[in-house]
Amino acid sequence: MSNAHAAVTPNGAVDVAVLGGGNAGLCAALAARQRGASVVVIEGAPREFRGGNSRHTRNLRSMHDRPTDLLVDAYTEDEFVADLLRVTAGRTNEVLARRVVRDSADCPAWIRSFGARLQRPLKGTLHLDRTNVFFVGGGKALMNSYYAAAERMGVRVLYDADVTGLDVVDGRCTCVSVALDGRLHSISARAVVLAAGGFESNLEWLKEIWGPAADNFIVRGTPYNTGKVLKLMLDLGAQPVGDPTQFHCVAVDARAPKFDGGIVTRLDSVSLGIVVNAHAERFYDEGEDFWPKRYAIWGRLVAQQPGQIAYSIVDAKSRGLFMPSVFPPIEARSIRELANPLAVSPDALERTVTAFNRAVCSGSFDHAVLDDCRTRGLTPEKTHWARALDTPPFWAYPLRPGVTFTYLGLKVDERARVLMSNGEPAENIVAAGEIMAGNILGQGYVAGVGMTIGTVFGRIAGAEVSRHAVA
Amino acid sequence: MLSPEALKQAQHVLTVCNACRYCEAYCPVFPAIENRTSFAKGDVMYLANLCHNCGECLYACQYAPPHEFGIDVPRVMAEVRVASYEEFCWPAFMSRAFRQTATVIGPVVGSIVLAWVLRHFVQSSNSQGADFYAVMPHDDMIKMFGVAGAFAIIVLLAGLVRAMRSFGASVMSGFSRTAWRDVLTLRHLHAAGDDCTADLDVRTPWRRYFHHCTFYGFALCFASTTVAAVYHSVFGWPAPYSYTSAPVILGTIGGIGLLVGPLGLLVQRGRRDPKLQDPAQGTLDISFIAMLLLTSATGLLLLVARHTGSMPVLLFIHLGFVLGLFVTLPYGKFVHGIYRTAALLKYASEERR
């Protein structure tokens, strides 16, 4: 194993410094290197955990006018843009959004050119077979291919490297300060790519916004997205974009690790039973909609409950109907018995379940469609897939909000240049990936678009900074 | 034997895999995981034998050590695999051979070789030319190897039956073209495409090439012996056969394959990332590789020197190794081929459902 870390002295001049070694950073590094620039990637994580949140991803959204070897039918530019406008409720820069969409068509070929492999959707995600290509082995395998290509091409990678400062004068960055191996280094670069992600793993920052509730949040991805580079740039007068208080959040198993639990901590039993809070009360229609939408709202719903905890409760009828969870269910023979390990009042839980069971109207259960199994006379109602909880054993899964990414970012132009407070683009500072995704994704989410933004803007950023390279 | 702790660890790993599914496209192990919601002992042993230890899923895994989930599928499957060899072993008391190959099988082999060499060297020094049967009568040879071969086949069959039962595979699952293609091409040894995984960024085709040399070399040697037996008993054509005869050509090509293949595997083994391997399997792998090498090397030496005075000694040494190989086949690494085949057949039958 070659370790660039040991082989280089970080001090010295380089054409391009890329801050952050996730998907966007690597795409920028590779694109700049292909154009002849000398490149150093400054990655905050150790080698084993490199790749930012990209190591937890699995697919990328890609437009196409006709079927490809991986995608069926067509997913046109207009349809993709319309999807973005819908999920963001208009909080998007349409010029940048359209650029991302147009360039997304070429992303699969770009990915494959570095030896990474793509596949059709995984089992159970067939609703994405028109829109998303999947990475064989997931995002970490993709990142391995990018890193291997970067090393082959002579890109230097510094791992475990902490960016502590940027020298920026009049929109021009001349030097990046990096703490590495307990020493402070200065890297002078002709241009800088900011690709260091959002601030979702900075618990202090989350607490400033959300108060003590943030203590109960689980961060689904990398612990290295501290928002340090984002903050440095905002303090240096870069224009912000995106809601500074908001983050994308899904319901995850409360037993998940504080950081880095990724995809396996998600829980998808919600629609099959009921969800109660710490007072053993229901608080939202569990049967409102299918997985993609449901998935996106339940994190926030749980975040609004006392103690930021909730419990998904199902009975034996639902066994095997949802994606297996990595944590075992809390099991009991009766609802009363179930209350104990959940630390909710047995009386209250029994009341809630009894009221729910009485309100269930008979219908024909079909989890594949919005069926006619619903309750009548409850607040809130359960509008689909409502079946009485009457068949032991009963299972419960504790839920907490799982933060995926934050929306606050740096405003950029179509060349990925960071816009400063005077309205002018920075001369040699560009941004790519989550740190600027808020330009396109002001709110909401649609599967695989984060990787699309990172890939497209990584390439744009890499091409832009390579202009500054010594020929 | 598969300890409760090892079973539990494997179940933890498989549960994480089942909730993630990113590795689905690598090999049959992951689709087979997705077909299940829980993993009983038989399932775990089936999945372990379905795994060809290609290694791709370790490097792709976002939960691989040092992540706190510590997911290392190739390593855990390798550990379960050895335990499954012990579980399927007949008679049961012989299962200890899988963990103490060097100490148990080594002396067995050694003593067989020594005994033969000493006993016959004295009686049969009157041989002329390249007549093996003047050194050891044909019928004696047939009896000796018939008994050893029958023993190996019976014990291997007993293991196969136990494995199929444990995997929940029916006899009918034997009829699958896909499964047999995968067995014969070793398709799942290289889930990365055409190349096998040696380390994070190292992909080469050599592991597969050397395995093919070994497997097909073994098959050709077996064919050579069979053809020779048919020549002798059906057509009455006695050995020795010329360099251009079928038994000698088959045996020579096979012998070279069986020399190059195991040597290459030994080298490849040393170059592979230790994280992909179960250290407890070292003796198992190396003793089998050594037996194959010694068998082919002595065989080729015998072929070259069959017209010299050292033929009788070489013959007994070679026969000693062949016999040792036969007798130890069911208690060494050879069984992996049997159980992998059983697992692939089972997988093909699952896919058809």
CATH label of the domain that carries residue A419: 3.50.50.60
Binning pLDDT at 50, 70 and 90, where does residue A8 land?
Answer: very low
Residues A200 and A281 in one domain: no
Binning pLDDT at 50, 70 and 90, where does residue B112 land?
Answer: low
Binning pLDDT at 50, 70 and 90, where does residue A56 land?
Answer: very high
* Model pLDDT, residue B278: 87
Residues A143 and A201 in one domain: yes
* Model pLDDT, residue B135: 75
Query: pLDDT at residue B326 above 60?
Result: yes
CA distance B202 to chain A (A): 9
Query: pLDDT at residue A62 above 70?
Result: yes
CA B342 to chain centre: 14
Q: Which among B51, B86, B121 is the end of a domain? A: B86
| Ramachandran sector of residue A397 (left: φ over 0; alpha: ψ -120 to 50; beta: rest) | beta
Binning pLDDT at 50, 70 and 90, where does residue B318 land?
Answer: confident
What's the CA angle centered on A265, arms A42 and A316, to 5 degrees?
Answer: 170
> Does residue B250 form part of some domain?
yes
Q: Which among A369, A402, A435 is the end of a domain? A: A402
Residues B75 and B137 in one domain: no
* Model pLDDT, residue A248: 92
Q: In chain A, which residues touch B (CB < 8 A)?
A: 1-2, 48-49, 55-56, 58, 117, 119, 122-124, 134-141, 144, 147-148, 151, 257, 260, 262-264, 266, 319-320, 323-326
Q: What residues of chain A lie within 8 A of the CB of B26, using their CB?
A: 136-137
Binning pLDDT at 50, 70 and 90, where does residue B37 land?
Answer: confident
Q: Which among B59, B86, B113 is the end of a domain? A: B86
CA distance A255 to chain B (A): 13
> Does residue B75 form part of some domain?
yes
Residues B119 and B28 in one domain: no
> Does residue B69 form part of some domain?
yes
Check: CB of residue A232 under 8 Å from CB of residue A260. Answer: no
Residues A450 and A373 in one domain: no
Residues A183 and A323 in one domain: no
* Model pLDDT, residue B313: 80
CA distance B315 to chain A (A): 46
Residues A210 and A271 in one domain: no
Count CB-CB contacts under 10 A for residue A81.
Answer: 18
Residues A76 and A210 in one domain: yes
Lowest mean pLDDT among A143-157, A194-208, B164-178: B164-178
Residues B212 and B136 in one domain: yes
The stretch A110-119 carries a mean pLDDT of 97
> Does residue A424 form part of some domain?
yes
Residues B13 and B150 in one domain: no
Alpha carbons A45 and A55: distance in angstroms, whole number: 12
Which of A84, A74, A136 shows the shortest CA–CA distance to A111? Answer: A136
Residues B71 and B133 in one domain: no
Binning pLDDT at 50, 70 and 90, where does residue A121 land?
Answer: confident
Residues B22 and B149 in one domain: no
Query: pLDDT at residue A43 above 70?
Result: yes
Helices (H), A154-290: 203-210, 228-235
**Which of A66-75, B95-104, B302-311 tops mean pLDDT?**
A66-75
- Amino acid identity of residue B153, one-letter, is I
> Does residue A236 form part of some domain?
yes
Binning pLDDT at 50, 70 and 90, where does residue A9 land?
Answer: very low
Q: Which among A358, A376, A402 is the end of a domain? A: A402
| Residue in A123, A138, A319 closest to B62 by CB | A138
Query: pLDDT at residue B117 above 70?
Result: no
Alpha carbons B46 and A58: distance in angstroms, whole number: 27
Beta strand pairing status for A39-42 and A156-158? Answer: parallel
Residues B82 and B105 in one domain: no
Query: Cβ contacts of residue B37 below 8 Å, gap of 6+?
Result: A319, A320, A324, B18
Binning pLDDT at 50, 70 and 90, where does residue A431 land?
Answer: very high
Residues A168 and A185 in one domain: yes
The greatest distance separating any two alpha carbons of chain A, rounded to the nearest whole angstrom, comes to 76
Alpha carbons B291 and B214: distance in angstroms, whole number: 12
Query: pLDDT at residue A353 above 80?
Result: yes
Instruction: State chain B's mean pLDDT as an integer.
Output: 88
> Does residue A471 form part of some domain?
no
Residues B116 and B41 in one domain: no
Nearest-CA residue of chain A relative to B202?
Answer: A1
Alpha carbons B129 and B135: distance in angstroms, whole number: 11
Q: What residues of chain B lie within 8 A of the CB of A53, using their CB?
A: none
Rg, chain A, Cα only: 24
Lowest mean pLDDT among A218-222, B111-115, B131-135: B111-115
Indicate whether this model's pTM tops 0.90: yes
> Does residue A249 form part of some domain?
no
Residues B82 and B126 in one domain: no
Q: What residues of chain A lie within 8 A of the CB of B199, using their CB?
A: 1
Query: Cα–Cα distances in Å, from B345 out to A74, B318, B348?
Result: 38, 35, 5
Beta-ladder partners of A247: A406
Instruction: Name which residue leads in pLDDT, A295 or B294.
Output: B294
Binning pLDDT at 50, 70 and 90, where does residue A39 land?
Answer: very high
CATH code of the domain covering residue A270: 3.90.700.10
Percent of chain A having pLDDT more than 70?
A: 96
- Go through chain A and tell me how many residues it has: 471
Query: Cβ contacts of residue A433 below 8 Å, gap of 6+?
Result: A20, A22, A23, A24, A25, A52, A195, A197, A453, A454, A457, A458
* Model pLDDT, residue B50: 97
Residues B117 and B255 in one domain: yes
Residues A67 and A202 in one domain: yes
A-to-B residue pairs, Cβ atoms closer than 8 angstroms: 86
Lowest mean pLDDT among A47-61, A286-300, A353-367, B329-343: A286-300
The parent domain of residue B172 ranges over 96-352
CA distance B55 to chain A (A): 11
Residues A240 and A185 in one domain: yes
> Does residue A250 form part of some domain?
no
Binning pLDDT at 50, 70 and 90, where does residue A7 land?
Answer: very low
Check: CB of residue A160 under 8 Å from CB of residue A45. Answer: yes
Most A CBs within 10 Å: which of B62, B69, B199, B200, as the mutation test of the A interface? B62
Asked whether this complex has an ipTM greater than 0.85, the answer is yes
The DSSP H or E segment spanning A189 is strand A183-194
| Inter-chain CB proximity B24 and A123 less than 8 Å | yes
pLDDT in tens, B183-229: 999 889 888 777 888 888 888 899 999 999 999 999 999 999 899 98
CA distance A339 to chain B (A): 26
> Does residue B91 form part of some domain?
no
Lowest mean pLDDT among A28-37, B27-36, B238-247: B238-247
The parent domain of residue A102 ranges over 4-244+408-466
Which of A118, A178, A150 shows the shortest CA–CA distance to A27? Answer: A150
Query: Cα–Cα distances in Å, from B326 out to A160, A253, A430, B151?
Result: 54, 54, 68, 8
Binning pLDDT at 50, 70 and 90, where does residue B280 land?
Answer: confident
Structural domain total, chain A: 2
> Does residue B136 form part of some domain?
yes
Alpha carbons B46 and B81: distance in angstroms, whole number: 9
| Residue in B34, B68, B199 closest to A123 by CB | B34
Q: What residues of chain A lie within 8 A of the CB of B61, using their CB?
A: 140
> Does residue B271 form part of some domain?
yes
The stretch B43-47 carries a mean pLDDT of 98
Query: pLDDT at residue B51 above 60?
Result: yes
Structural domain total, chain B: 2
Q: What residues of chain B lie within 8 A of the CB of A45, using their CB?
A: none
* Model pLDDT, residue A167: 96
Check: CB of residue A266 under 8 Å from CB of residue A402. Answer: yes
Residues A195 and A298 in one domain: no
Instruction: Name which residue leads in pLDDT, A120 or A6.
Output: A120
CA distance A140 to chain B (A): 5
Q: What residues of chain B lie within 8 A of the CB of A48, using their CB?
A: 64, 66
Residues B78 and B111 in one domain: no
Q: Which among B35, B66, B86 is the end of a domain? A: B86
Helices (H), A304-421: 335-342, 346-359
| Inter-chain CB proximity A264 and B19 less than 8 Å | yes
Residues B192 and B269 in one domain: yes
Count CB-CB contacts under 10 A for residue A5.
Answer: 18
Alpha carbons A127 and A32: distance in angstroms, whole number: 35
> Does residue B312 form part of some domain?
yes
* Model pLDDT, residue B282: 84
Query: pLDDT at residue A207 above 90?
Result: yes
At residue A173, φ and ψ (nearest 5 deg) are -95, 130
Residues A226 and A285 in one domain: no
> Does residue A365 form part of some domain?
yes
Which of A225, A234, A261 shows the shortest CA–CA distance to A43? Answer: A225
* Model pLDDT, residue A11: 56
| Inter-chain CB proximity B56 and A48 less than 8 Å | no
Q: Which among A402, A424, A439 is the end of a domain? A: A402
Residues A198 and A293 in one domain: no
Check: CB of residue B332 under 8 Å from CB of residue B95. Answer: no
pLDDT in tens, B66-105: 999 999 999 999 999 999 999 999 999 888 888 775 555 6
| Inter-chain CB proximity A260 and B67 less than 8 Å | yes
Q: What residues of chain B lie within 8 A of the CB of A58, using their CB?
A: 22
